[in-house]
Amino acid sequence: MEASVEQLVYVREDEYTIARMSAEGMPGFVASGRALGGVQPGETLRLIGGWGEHPRHGRRFEVTACERLVPATVRAIRIYLGSGLIRGIGPRLAHAIVSHFGETTLTVIDTEPERLTEVVNIGPARQAQIADAWQEQKAIAELMVTLQGFGISPLLAARIYQVFGAESGDILTCDPYRLIGKVRGIAFATADRIALRSGVSESSPQRIKAAILDRLETAAGRDGHCYVRLVALVTQSAELVEQDHDLVRRALDALVADRRVVVEVSPDDRGQAVVYLKETHSRELTLTAQLTRLIQATSTLPMRAFQEDPGLDEDQRAAVNMALTSTVSIITGGPGCGKSHTVRTIAATAKAMGGSVTLTAPTGKAAKRLSELTGMPAMTVHRMLAHQPDPDSGALFEQTPAQADLIVVDEASMLDLHLATRLTAVIPVGSHLLIVGDSDQLPSIAPGSVLADLLRVEEIARIRLTRVFRQAEGSGIIRAAHRIRAGEVPPTPGGGGFWFEEVDDPEQVAERVMHLATVAIPRKQGVSPDQVQVLCPMRRGLTGTAEIGRMIQERLNPAREGVAEHWSGASVFRVGDRVMPIRNNYDKGVFNGDTGTVTAITPEERLVEIRTDDGQIVKYGFGELDELTHTYAISVHRSQGSEYPFVVAPLVTESGGVMLRRKLLYTLITRARSWVVVVGERKALETAVQRLGHRRNTGLARRLALSLGTVLTGD
C-alpha cells in the first residue's frame, strides 16, 4: 500500500521503527519494522508487508520492505511540506503553497522555485531559503537510496550530508573511507562494505591504509591510547582486511611517507617500535616542551610572608607551601581528604600576597562546584582558552585569565592530551600551574592520561592528601569509595549514603533503577526527579544509558498531543528534555559537559532551542542533534567532574561486564553527594572492585623525564 508517515512513535537503535501512518480510506493505522528505519513524518512510502496482531498494542501493519515515493496527491503534498522536512515551510505556509499550485507544487519548487514569491508571505529571502532546503533534502534522499543499495542504514544520510554537503555523493561512491571518523556511526566496517561493493580491490593500498588508520583511531577513541605497538598494529590491520602482513607493512610505510603516522622506538615499551597518528605525536612533543618550559621557569608570583591556616594539617600546609613556591605542582587525594579546603587556602594566600588567581576545571559543572567550594569565581578551561586574543589582533595579553600568577586546574583526571596542550600553551613563563585531581578516578574520555603521567615524573612537585577528615568520616559514600580504592568490596547493603540492592535479572534492574530515580527517591527525600541522576557503565543493552534513559524520558516527559517533537536517529527530542553537548562547539559557545533544557522545537525552521544552565540560548539544527545527548541516564565517563545530590546506577555482568573496572566504580560512587544506590548483581560489584583496567599507551611521562633529566616512578 501507499501511505504517509504521520508520526514516529518509537525508534530503536537497530532501526526497528513504529510509526502512525495514513492512507486513502485508512485515516490512521500503525506500521512497524526495521524496514522503516530512517523514515520521517511527512514522507510518502510504498509499504510491503502484512497485517499482524501485537499482544499489547493490537493490530498493526508489519513492514518487510518500503520505498520512498514522491507525494502525488494534494493531501500527501500538504502533509509532506507541513511536516518540517523542508526548512522554512510550516503547516500554514504549506497549506498556502499547495492551495496555490495544487498537484504541481513539488515540480514548481524543484524547477521554478522563483515562482514561490507568487504565494502571500513568501519574499525573495524566504523563497531562496526554501529552494536551498529543497535541494538539500533531495540530496539527502538520493544518499538514502544509495546507502540502501549498499545495505547501509539510511539514517546515516543526513549525518553524511551535514559533514560533506554537496560532495557527499561523490565521496560515498569514490572514497567512502573518508567517512571514517568524520561521520558518527561510520567505522571501517561500514565504509569498507561500500568500497568493496563499489569495486575497490580487497588488496587495495587505499583499503589497507584506511584499516591501519582505523585501528589507530579506535585505540585512541575506545581505549585512550596515544600509540599502538607496531607489531600489534600490523597484526590487527591484517586481520581486519584479511591480507598478508607484508601488504600492511608497505601500506604503513606509505602512511609514514605521507606524514600521516609516525613510527618511533619507545623506551616505555622496552625498545619496541610504536606507531602514532601524526597529530597525536605532535601534541605529545609540544606538551612535553611546554611543561618543561613552565617547570624550569623562575616564579613571578609575589612572595611575601603569609599567616598559615591553623585548620590545616601538616600535609595540607606542605601543599600550600609547594603550590606557592613551585611553578608546576600537583595535589592529589581521595574524597574527604581536604583537597578543596587546601585549594581555597592556596588561592586566598596567593591573592593576599598580591598575586592574581584563575580557577578552572575541564567541565562547566566541575567549574561551578570549584567556585562553590572555594567561594571564588571559576571557569571551564575551554572558556579560559576562549579569552585568548588573536595573536594578530593587538589585544593585551594581560586582559586574559591565563595571565594570572596562579592557575588552578581542578578535576585534572579529565585532562586529555589535546586540552592539556592547549592549556599549557597560553600560560606565561613564571606563572604557577597547580594541578588538582584524584588519580584514582577514570582518565579522560579523549586520548592521553595526563595526570597519571605527570605523577610518574619525579621532578614534578606533588603531595597526596590521605587523611580523611572527621566531617567526612561519617559518610557511607566516602567509606565505600576508600574501600573500593583499596580493592575491597564495600559492606552491603550498606548505609549512611551508600546502598547496594541485589537484583539479578537485567530487565528487572532497569525497571528498578527507573522507579528509584523517578518515584521512590524523590518521594522519600522530598525532592524533584531532577535531583536524581542515573549513571550507567554502558551505553547499550537493557541497562545501558540509551534504554534506561528512554524509560525515564517516557515517565517524566512523554509525548503530548499537539506538542512538537523531533526524532533524530533513535532519540526523540521534546520541550523540557534535559540535554548535554557531547562535543565542543566554539561557534555556539558550548562545550562538552555543559547541560541545559530544550525550550522550543520549531519544525518549519528545523531548529531545537536549548537554554543552558548558565542562561545562554543556543540553537541546534535538526542535522546537528547528534552533538547532543539526553541526560536522563548518562555514562559514568560523562559524569566526571560533576556531583549530584542522589545517584542511582545499574551494575550487571550483561555483555560480559566489559566496562566493569575499579576506577569506573570508584568514579561512580564519588559522584553522589547525599546518597548513591547501586542496583544489580553482587558478582558485578565484586568484578568491578577486582578489575584494575589497563594503563594507557602514552609517551608523555618518558618524554618529560628525559627532558627534565629525572627518573620515572611507578614503573
Binding residues for ATP are 336-340
How far is Cα 266 from Cα 699, in angstroms, rounded to an integer?
8
In this structure, are residues 431 and 389 in contact, taking their beta carbons and an 8 Å threshold?
Answer: no
Q: What is the C-alpha R_g of the chain?
A: 28
Could you give the CA distance from residue 311 to residue 216 in angstroms, rounded to a whole number? Answer: 50
Distances (CA, A) of 230 to 203, 214, 248: 20, 14, 11
H or E element at residue 376: none
424 contacts 204 by C-beta, under 8 angstroms: no
3-state class (DSSP) for residue 651: strand
Q: Can you say which residues are annotated as belonging to the binding site?
A: 336-340
Phi and psi at 69, nearest 5°, equal -120, 155
DSSP designation for 396: -
Q: What is the number of other CB atoms lying within 10 angstroms of the CB of residue 271?
A: 8
Helix H or strand E encompassing 117: none
Distances (CA, A) of 7 to 11, 31, 43, 92: 11, 11, 10, 18
Counts of helices then strands in the chain (DSSP H, E): 25, 27
Between CA 425 and CA 419 the distance in angstroms is 10
Question: What count of other Cβ atoms lies within 10 Å of the Cβ of residue 176?
Answer: 24
Enclosing H/E stretch for 650: strand 644-651
Under a CB-based contact definition with an 8 Å cutoff, are residues 497 and 506 in contact?
no
Report the C-alpha gap between 212 and 207 in whole angstroms: 9
Q: Give the β-pairing of 578-581 and 628-630.
A: antiparallel
User: Quick one: which of 116, 32, 28, 107 has its CA closest to 71?
Assistant: 107
Amino acid occupying residue 671: R
Secondary structure of 33-84 in HEC code, one letter for each residue:
EHHHCCCCCCCEEEEEEEEEEECCCEEEEEEEEEEEECCCCHHHHHHHHHCC
C-alpha distances out from residue 603 to 38, 120, 436, 573, Å: 17, 20, 45, 12
Alpha-carbon distances, residue 532 vs 514, 546, 633, 674, 705 (angstroms): 10, 17, 10, 10, 44
Q: Identify whether the C-beta of residue 362 lies closer than 8 Å to the C-beta of residue 411.
A: yes
